[in-house]
Amino acid sequence: MVRIRLLILIPVLLILFSFSGKSPTPSTLQRELNLFAADPALKNASWGFCVIDAATGRTIISHNEHQSLVPASTQKVLTTASALMMLGADFRYQTSIGYSGYIDAGGILQGDLIIKGSGDPAFGSNAMHDSLNLGRVFAGWLLAVRNAGIRQINGRVLADESVFDQELIPRKWLWEDMGNYYGAGASGLTANENMYTVYFQPSNALGQPARVVMTEPPIPGMEFNNQVTTGPKGSGDQVYIFGAPYQMLRTLTGTVPLGSSNFPVRGSIPDPPFFVAAAFSDFLSRNDISQKQPPLSHRLAAQAGTSPGAVSRTLSSWSSPALAQIAARTNLSSVNTFAENLVKTVGSHAKGEGTTAAGNEAIKEHWKKFGLDVDGMFLYDGSGLSPSNRLTVHQLAKVLQITAGQPFYEGFQVGLPLAGRTGSIASSFRGTSSEGVLRAKSGFLANVRSYAGYTKTADGKTLAFAFIVNDYQGTPASMREKMTRLMDAITRYNQ
């Protein structure tokens, strides 16, 4: 009798359970993951998805979480979080101006005026609070030079960028990237985010040459092989700039749109330290402080067989914005130059070598101390621009989860783009549960889409996630929409 009652009771309980809202069927998040996994666009793709509870470290859901994938710009999350933990959120760079030799009774500096770089990526840029453009920095330096009694320089303006190595560009970057503004690389003396703007005047007819009008700022010694023509009206910036580091000849290809005037295209400064030295030398000359010798960088002085003298007195020092602000701009605006300078700074402080390789090795060693498995982590830059980089979604999500427990977390996560509001995801997630809630750094390369960040569920849980897709079929826009649907399901997670 008891057995019969149990047999009757079991299906009844199952029916009641299914209507109670606690069904054993897959959650919304699992269903969305299953739908994504079944998409034909992923037939030949490699992809991974990982969601971790930020408070407990428990993995909520994952797919291919330990597969090495090309992360694109989501690698900036790793670079910035590492720099903040290893250097401190209040860390500031110092860029100074001083001189070698001495000032004689006539106000003549018997030596060189030396600009000492520290690797500050924000130097000479007014893109954030507490930063000044190069012209305003120069004005302050001019005042310091005059206050020191210097009226003439019997030497030169010398830029000292030796805090970093001389490899402006990481070795695994592509040729088509490095002459453009996003391929500016890192220098021990960076200025204006290592970027200039070239202005074009298109022709009045399609296919006809577009003329170079000017550059801002002027780059001493730079020349153009201009092959740019006039494209259809409204076609936008289709220009690529080709040129190697320190190469002053730049080749310009592609099109600018018909009907525009002074159309701007941004490129990377070929030799940032020399640019700073030459620009300040010219600024001094225009303000009646002459120099006997032409300006040089530390690299060019060494090539010329000139031994740069040591600084005998510092006249003025420029302090950068706090590292927390620099990290926020790196992630919100996806500034490759900032990320590359940060990884070299980590190398300089942790290993005594201002190189990309030293910085990335220090980063891996740092996270291993937190128990992170770094197998499958292959780092060749700091920004994620190289298609040779590899990370797993578990590594990225775990870095975010550990970072959520750090004192600087609030500022770090606020520096990530906000769904439907800011940065690269400003136009995504509109009208969803994630709008104004989810924050994520996005990444985009040829055949790569990626996201890494945080979101909050309705019951107040903070979840860290990473989502990378390589080698998908279809357009980048269609893949973005599919990934957005799955990420929105993370916000709607309720178990």
Return the pLDDT at 6: 41
Measured between alpha carbons, how far is 256 from 233 in angstroms, rounded to an integer?
A: 9
Among the CATH numbers 3.30.710.10, 3.40.1190.20, 3.50.80.20, 3.40.190.10, which is that of 94-166+272-321? 3.50.80.20
pTM for the full model? Answer: 0.93
* Helix and strand numbers, DSSP H then E, in the chain: 12, 22
Return the pLDDT at 285: 98
Instruction: Give, as one character, the DSSP assignment of residue 369.
Output: T
Domain with CATH 3.50.80.20 in the chain: 94-166+272-321
Other C-beta atoms lying within 10 Å of the C-beta of residue 216: 12
Closest to 72 in 3D by CA, of 441, 473, 464: 441
Closest to 120 in 3D by CA, of 358, 349, 350, 338: 338
Domain with CATH 3.40.710.10 in the chain: 25-89+324-491
Whether CATH 3.75.10.10 fits 25-89+324-491: no
Return the pLDDT at 129: 75
Return the pLDDT at 26: 58
Return the pLDDT at 22: 40
Measured between alpha carbons, how far is 338 from 99 in angstroms, rounded to an integer?
A: 28
CA angle 292, 296, 300 (to 5 degrees): 135
Q: What is the pLDDT along the chain (495 residues), one digit of tens a residue?
A: 444 444 444 444 443 333 333 434 458 999 999 999 999 999 999 999 999 999 999 999 999 999 999 999 999 999 999 999 999 999 999 999 999 999 999 999 999 999 999 999 999 998 877 778 899 999 999 999 999 999 999 999 999 999 999 999 999 999 999 999 999 989 999 999 999 999 999 999 999 999 999 999 999 999 999 999 999 999 999 999 999 999 999 999 999 999 999 999 999 999 999 999 999 999 999 999 999 999 999 999 999 988 877 899 999 999 999 999 999 999 999 999 999 999 999 999 999 999 999 999 999 999 999 999 999 999 999 999 999 999 999 999 999 999 999 999 999 999 999 999 999 999 999 999 999 999 999 999 999 999 999 999 999 999 999 999 999 999 999 999 999 999 999 999 987
Return the pLDDT at 82: 98
Beta strands in 240-353 (DSSP E): 240-242, 249-253, 255-257, 263-268, 290-291, 296-297, 313-319
